[in-house]
Structures are given as structure tokens and as C-alpha cells.
Structure 1
Amino acid sequence: MKICFISMSSSTNQDGASLSMLNIACELAKRGNEVVLVLSSDKNIEWIRQKEHIKCYIVPAYSMRINILKRRKSTGIKFFIKYMFNYFYMLKAYKILKNENVDLIHINGLNHQMGAQIADKLGIPYVWHIRQLMEEDLGQTIFAKNKVWKYVKKADAVIAISNTVKNKFEKEFHRKIVTVYNGVPIEKYEVEDKDIFNSETAKLILPGRIDPGKGQMDAVKAIEELKVNRKINTELYIVGNIEDRTYEQRIRTYIDKKNLDSNIHILHYVADLRKLRKQCDIGLTCSKNEAFGRVTIENQLAGLLVIGANTGGTTEIIKDNETGLLYKEGDYMDLADKIEYAIINKNTMRNIANHGKDNAIDQFSIERVVDQLIGIYENCKMQRG
């Protein structure tokens, strides 16, 4: 089968949605399928270009996602101009895929209807993979949403990365949506023989883009509470691309003001976090409403105890006191309580971390995801005749 993935939302190709798509593409290619990628950016894809059976094309179409808080009177005009330009980018991508003679188009994420339009022109099936809640997790909506929604509703299949995402959009689209949890290449993230809580100072890691929706400030305040009021010394590593510079500066100012420089470290994006995770005991997920939470699985595979906010897709990965710990989202005192509890009950936490890792290996492998997707692809082709 020859499958085309269309992804037009990432400028870095390093966010969770893009990495999950690229992992799928690699596994499909490994199984002998031909894969065509149509991306809007050529950043950080050198490694994928080297894979057999995968071709990459760059079509620099405009994202149609609008930041709700930054919407102005001029926003509509700007996006209308982008929308018109995207029509010509769609024609460019159409010519590429017509020559490639692909069997099916897999659209990665909610953005614009370009992939669906091309599939219609080619007379082939298309699958729409929804990887975000939009307003709830990204604080975004889509320009000309009704036009995009029309194409989602008539897709041959719609996939959600969690039941949280599925439940929202089944109501919105009034159609069946299939849940396929994200998967990761286990060997890339697994840390073998990892033992946690062996040093006097517990170390925590919070990966993800630096943005209010990711809740880094909750973690910062929890570390302060532990240090100042409970006399528990910890170290926190916040790792991620800066999405919101104002928010990032607010965090840095708070750290300086509260004399937390020796306890909290902010690092730029690191492609392979295994080295850092080997030094840590706890992996945090503090998002206000995570659509799924790929980094939670990565932390589990590294053998860390995971502590996450009790909202969204995070609750589908973490079973409280079984595969990790949950705290009340937005409540840094409750987060501090959970961290303190973990430090006091080290042996119990080691067992929970081991159970979490075993569950991640069993439930969230890339092989399992691709097995499910191939079934969906074949069903779409069969229904088309």
C-alpha cells in the first residue's frame, strides 16, 4: 500500500503530534509499505529522509489555526489571504500526489481541508487523525472551521488519540470516531535497569513546550512549597521549546525572586531525553487538559514514577496508585503532597513505576498502533470498492 501523510501544523516537526506521525510512517515503511510525507517545514527531518520507502515533499502551506487570545480585528483579513494562498499550495500538493499515485491520504491533526480536497480530486480514501482538543489544550480554533468540519464529517475514517478527544468530537461531528492511542518506538525511550529514589535529593523532569496550557508554573510552586515549608529539597528540570515567551519569562522571574535557581532548571528542547531521564526519579505531566500525553508514556518507559494532572487524556494513561499518581489539576499544594508522598514511600513508588513501565510497553507500542491503522486503511479501501 502507498500511503500519504499530510501534516501542516508544525514548524519544527518535533511536537508530539508530528513525532507520533513520523513514528507511524517509519513502522509502515519497515513493513514494506511505501510512504509519502507532505510537510510544511523541512526542519529536523534529516533522519526521516534517510529511511527506505519514505519520500518527503515540502509544501509551505499556511496553518489555519488561530490563537483565541491573540485574535484581533485584522485576524480575519490575514487568515483570508492565507486561505487563498493555500488553494495554490493545495494544487501543488495535488500534482505531487497524482504523480506518486498514492492509495490513501492520512491527515495528521485538525487544521485546513487541503488533504481532503486532494483525496476527493484523486478519488481515493482519506483518514483524519485528530490529535488535539483545540480550544481546551492549545487555546486555538480554526479559520473557516465550518468548511473544514464538512470534510471531516465525510472522511472514510476519523481517528482520535484518546477517548477524551473522541468524546468531544463525536458530539461535534455526529459521526463514529475510533480511538487509537498514540504509540512510541519502545527501544528509543526505554531505560533498562532503572532504579529510582536512590539519592537524597529527588529529581523531577517536566518535558513539553513552555506554554500556560502545560502547567509548568504549578510544578515550580510545588517545588517552592516543598523547599520552603516542608524542608524537602528537590530538583526540577523543565525541558521544552518556548511557545509563549511571556510565560517563560514569568517563570524565570518567579524562580529568581524565590531563590529557586539551584532547584529548578529550564532547558531548551533536547531530542533524546534518555540521558537526563536516567538521572531523574519522577516524570511530571501538569497540563490543564492533555489530549493524550505522549511524554507521560516516554517517562514511564524510562522507569520513572509519573505524576500527572487528573484531567483529559492523562487519566487514560495513569491509573492512580497503580501506574502512577494523579493530583488535582491546577492545585500546586496537592502536587506537592503527591511528590512528598512519593519521596516518603519509596518502595511502593518503585513498584508503581515498574507497573507503569510494563503497562506502557504492553499498551503503547508503535507496532500495536500500526496494526490498528492497517486494519482501518484496508477497511476504507474495501468500502470504496
Structure 2
Amino acid sequence: MHILYIVGGSGKGYGSERVAAELIAELTKQKLVSYTVITSQRGCVNRWCTQLRITNYVVPMKFYVYAKAKGRLTDTIKRAIRNMQADYTAGRAVKKIEHCVNMNTVDAIHTNLSRDLVGGMLSRKYGIPHVWHIQELYKSHYKLNLLKKNQIEWMNMHSSLFICVSDLVAAEWIEQGMDDKKVAVIKNGINSSFIRQREDRNDEWIRIVMSGEICEAKGQWILLQAVRLMDKDLRNKVKIDLYGGGKPAYLKIIKRNIRDWSMNDIVDMKGYDPDVTSVLYKYDLGINASRGEAFGLSTIECMCAGLCVLASNTGSNPGIITDNVDGFMFDYNNAVVDLKNKLEYIVTNKKLISELGRAARRKVMQTYDISTMTEQVYAKYAYITK
């Protein structure tokens, strides 16, 4: 079975790209599927594919989403221009893929993001089954809007199957018009063998890690403000490492806040690291302060490493973490104050870190193993290509 996998993404190896890479690697190693991989920017996925001798190409594409402008006329003009740009780029992408790939050898197309439409275009043109991986909540995370008029109806017409990464994701998209008869929920999985487990320790410091793109939606600013408000003696017992890149203007704001709030001795911005999972065992507490995660891969990875995770009660987080059992939740509607209170509680009850961390690892091993995801996805490939 040969699959054309359109990964998309930033090339930085963030959540959805890592999920795709794990899936591709596992099914390739099992010799169940051969892949040709398309990325929109050269990056981690290309490097990983090359290491596994998987054919891969870089084909620039534009996402079919946009940030709504103020004013009806301004928004209408902006949307029309962005739509024309996306259509033009998609047309060029289709031609480039046709030049690189013999479409007669492709049994199915797998698109990794809801905002990429090129896979749907190729599916309709060649009559090839199309799997669409829906890894984003409809609106709540990045607050973006679909670009094409009646875009979900268009997706229904250009897809054989939608794979949603959580029940919440499926419910949101179905509510907006996605064909529920084409929807299957398959939770993302991780390869736990590559994640070293944290060892119990009784250090003076509590080491906190937060990874992912540094932007407003991910909530690094919430963590910084919460730590700023902590009791001084308790605040001096934490060390925070922030992993991830971001837009220069926003990174500048975060760095200025750290400096102005005299937190340089507490917070270290580590920058982008494609292999952050290899160092998770060095930490005690993982933070997820997102506005609304569709799945929360970084949360699962921290749990797998045996960290205690403190996460917002938004998106898929409540479906992953059981509060006070295998992690802690804080109220996003009162985010700064509640996160500050939870941090102070954990600092004064350090023994809970190991206790909840062990429970978190057990849950991940039972529920989010890569083998479960690959078996389910392969079964869907077989179903739509039979």
C-alpha cells in the first residue's frame, strides 16, 4: 500500500508534525505501508524521513485559514485576497506534486492538517481515497477562521474519512457541519521507548518545563504572570525552562517581561529544540497553559516521562488528566491567580510530584501507546482502499 502523506506545518517538529513522523516511521518499519511525504517547509520531518530512506519533497502551500479583520469591508477584502493567494499556491503545489510523484502508484492520500486543502484537490482529480487528519479544535485555539466559503462542505466532498484526535475535536467539527458518517476518533500515540523516565529526587529546586510554540495561545505569558505573583520564598524554589520558537515580536515581549519582572534567575528561554523529549526526565513539573489544545502532545510526553503536569481546564486537557490523581488542573477563566495558587501548593507539597507523576506515566502507557494508533490508522487505510 502506497500513501501520499501531506504533512504541512512549520517544519519545526511541533505536535502534529511529530505525530505524523511517528506514524510514518512505525508503519514503514512494519513494512505495511510505503510513503511519499510532502512538507510545505523543509525541516524536521524531511530530516527524519531521509534518515528512514522515505521519499520526501518540499512543496510550498498556504493555509486556508486567516485572522478576521476589523470592519466588514476590510475583512471581506482581506479574505478574498488571501483566498486567491491560497488557491494560486495550491494550484502550483498540485502541479509540483504531479511532477514529483506518479499519482497512478498512490493508493490513498493522507492530509495531516485541516487547513491544508491540496490533498483534497488531488483526491478529487485522480479519484484517490483521502484521509483527513483533524488535529485542531475548530476555533478556540488560534482563533482563526476558515478561508474558503462553505469550506467544511468542500472538505466533506473531498474526503473519504476524517480522523479526529479526540472526542472533543470530533464534536466541534461535526457541530460545524462535518459529515459525522465519515468521522472516526483515533487518539494520538507516542513511542514511550524513546522517553526516559524521571527518577525520584529531593532537590532544593522544582524544575518546571513548558514546550511548544511561544505565542499567546500557548499561554507562556500566563505562567510568567503567575510565577511573578507567587510568595517570594516559594518563587525562589522554582526554575523554569521555556522551549520553543515564535514570532520575533512576541518573543521580544516575553523576554522584556522576564527582564522587567526580575525573573532572569528563574526563567531560561531555551529556544527551539526538536528533541526536547530527550531532556524531560530532568524536570519535575510540566505546564500546559493553552487556550484550547485539540490533543496536547507535549502534555502526554511529560506524563510519559513521569512528570507531574499542571494544565488548563480547556480543550482536551480534562480528558487526559484526572485532577489530583495523575496531574493538576487550573481554571483558565481565572488563569493567573489559580495557576499561582496551584504552583504554591505543589511547591509546599513536593512529594505529590512523584506520586502523581507515576500515575501519569501508567495512564499514558495504557492509553496513548504508538502501537494502538498505528493499528487503528492502518485499519482505516485498508478500509478506504479495499
**TM-score, scaled to structure 2:** 0.91
Q: Which residue of 2 aligns with 1:5?
A: 5
1:163 is displaced (CA, Å) by 1.5
Q: Which residue of 2 aligns with 1:313?
A: 316
Work out the number of aligned pairs and report it.
Answer: 377
Q: Describe the SS at the equivalent of 2:57.
A: strand
In 1, Cα distance between the equivalents of 2:159 and 2:82? Answer: 28
Q: Which residue of 2 aligns with 1:131?
A: 135
Q: Which residue of 1 aligns with 2:24?
A: 25
| More off after superposition, 71-80 vs 293-302 | 71-80
In 2, Cα distance between the equivalents of 1:193 and 1:278? Answer: 4
Contact 1:132/1:138 (8 A) holds in 2: no
Please point out which of 104, 107, 120 is paired with 1:103: 107
Q: Describe the SS at the equivalent of 1:68.
A: coil
Contact 1:153/1:173 (8 A) holds in 2: no
Q: Describe the SS at the equivalent of 1:159.
A: strand
In 2, Cα distance between the equivalents of 1:284 and 1:333? Answer: 15
Please point out which of 261, 273, 277 is paired with 1:258: 261
In 1, Cα distance between the equivalents of 2:364 and 2:67? Answer: 33
1:358 is displaced (CA, Å) by 1.2
Q: Which residue of 2 aligns with 1:15?
A: 14
Is 1:179 aligned to residue 185 of structure 2?
Answer: yes
In 2, Cα distance between the equivalents of 1:275 and 1:96? Answer: 35
Give 5+ residue unaligned stretches, structure 2: none
Give 2:52's aligned amino acid.
K
Alpha-carbon distance change, 312 to 335 in structure 1, aligned in 2, over 3 angstroms: same
Alignment of 1:289-308 (within 5 A): 289-308=292-311
1:67 is displaced (CA, Å) by 2.9
1:145 is displaced (CA, Å) by 4.4
Contact 1:208/1:241 (8 A) holds in 2: yes
In 1, Cα distance between the equivalents of 2:280 and 2:43? Answer: 25
Give 2:368's aligned amino acid.
F
In 1, Cα distance between the equivalents of 2:198 and 2:314? Answer: 31
1:21 is displaced (CA, Å) by 0.8
Alpha-carbon distance change, 167 to 147 in structure 1, aligned in 2, over 3 angstroms: closer
Q: Which residue of 2 aligns with 1:51?
A: 52
Percent of aligned positions that are identical: 23
In 2, Cα distance between the equivalents of 1:361 and 1:69? Answer: 44
1:84 is displaced (CA, Å) by 2.2
Please point out which of 233, 242, 245 is paired with 1:241: 245
In 1, Cα distance between the equivalents of 2:12 and 2:256? Answer: 30
Alpha-carbon distance change, 257 to 85 in structure 1, aligned in 2, over 3 angstroms: closer
In 2, Cα distance between the equivalents of 1:78 and 1:231? Answer: 46
Q: Alpha-carbon deviations, 1:90-113, whole Å to 9, x = none? A: 133235443461111111111242
Contact 2:198/2:281 (8 A) holds in 1: no
Contact 1:153/1:175 (8 A) holds in 2: no
Q: Describe the SS at the equivalent of 2:188.
A: coil
Q: Describe the SS at the equivalent of 1:311.
A: coil
Please point out which of 194, 205, 221 is paired with 2:199: 194
Give 2:48's aligned amino acid.
W
Is 1:157 aligned to residue 158 of structure 2?
Answer: no
In 2, Cα distance between the equivalents of 1:326 and 1:100? Answer: 50
Please point out which of 84, 98, 113 is paired with 2:88: 84
Q: Alpha-carbon deviations, 1:268-299, whole Å to 9, x = none? A: 11122245423321000000111110000111
Cα RMSD (Å) = 2.2
In 1, Cα distance between the equivalents of 2:178 and 2:241? Answer: 42
Is 1:118 aligned to residue 122 of structure 2?
Answer: yes
In 1, Cα distance between the equivalents of 2:164 and 2:291? Answer: 19
In 2, Cα distance between the equivalents of 1:145 and 1:17? Answer: 25
Give 5+ residue unaligned stretches, structure 1: none
Q: Describe the SS at the equivalent of 1:262.
A: coil
Q: Describe the SS at the equivalent of 1:308.
A: strand
1:117 is displaced (CA, Å) by 1.8
Q: Alpha-carbon deviations, 1:171-229, whole Å to 9, x = none? A: 112422221111122122x2235225x21121101111010001111111121122438
Q: Which residue of 2 aligns with 1:331?
A: 335
Is 1:213 aligned to residue 220 of structure 2?
Answer: no
Contact 1:113/1:148 (8 A) holds in 2: no
Give 1:194's aligned amino acid.
E
In 1, Cα distance between the equivalents of 2:287 and 2:149? Answer: 34
Alpha-carbon distance change, 135 to 217 in structure 1, aligned in 2, over 3 angstroms: same
Q: Alpha-carbon deviations, 1:282-320, whole Å to 9, x = none? A: 000000111110000111112111110001111121111
In 2, Cα distance between the equivalents of 1:309 and 1:103? Answer: 41
Q: Describe the SS at the equivalent of 2:207.
A: strand
Contact 1:223/1:236 (8 A) holds in 2: no
Contact 1:13/1:41 (8 A) holds in 2: no
| More off after superposition, 96-105 vs 72-81 | 72-81
Give 1:251's aligned amino acid.
I
In 2, Cα distance between the equivalents of 1:253 and 1:289? Answer: 26
Contact 2:123/2:159 (8 A) holds in 1: no
Give 2:50's aligned amino acid.
R
**TM-score, scaled to structure 1:** 0.91
In 1, Cα distance between the equivalents of 2:235 and 2:243? Answer: 25
